[in-house]
Amino acid sequence: MPDPVSSIRNLGPAFEQACARAGIHSAQELRDLGPDEAYTRVLRAGARPHFIGYYVLVMGLQGRPWNDCKGAEKKALRERFDRIKASVSAAPALQLVSELDAIGVRVTPADLKPDR
């Protein structure tokens, strides 16, 4: 039987369940995906984005304590997290545009802006 996600330092049962919902069922699968792809999949599976959760994952995959992330490294991780979060947030809108385009409805960027 493969090692569970929760066998990775810092990762507990809640993150293991989030991974399972995203189709990640072992520590090795998580390692193979890497933190960015894994976290993207977890968000796409419905988890709410949380920066601490992301950097805890990164630190865990490096075998480091969760609170070892500081300074410039933490700032760089925040930028990666923000890109991941933005890419997941944009995905449903892009999917809708693609589906509308497939049936012949033309959508422009202005159509996607909320009414003011």
Structurally, at CATH architecture level, domain 5-112 sits in Orthogonal Bundle (1.10)
Q: Which of 65, 63, 39 is nearest to 53 (CA)?
A: 39
Q: Where are the domains of the chain?
A: 5-112
pLDDT tens per residue across span 53-75 = 999 999 999 999 999 999 999 99
Model pTM above 0.85: no
pLDDT tens per residue across span 38-55 = 999 999 888 989 999 999
Tokens of 12: 């507990």
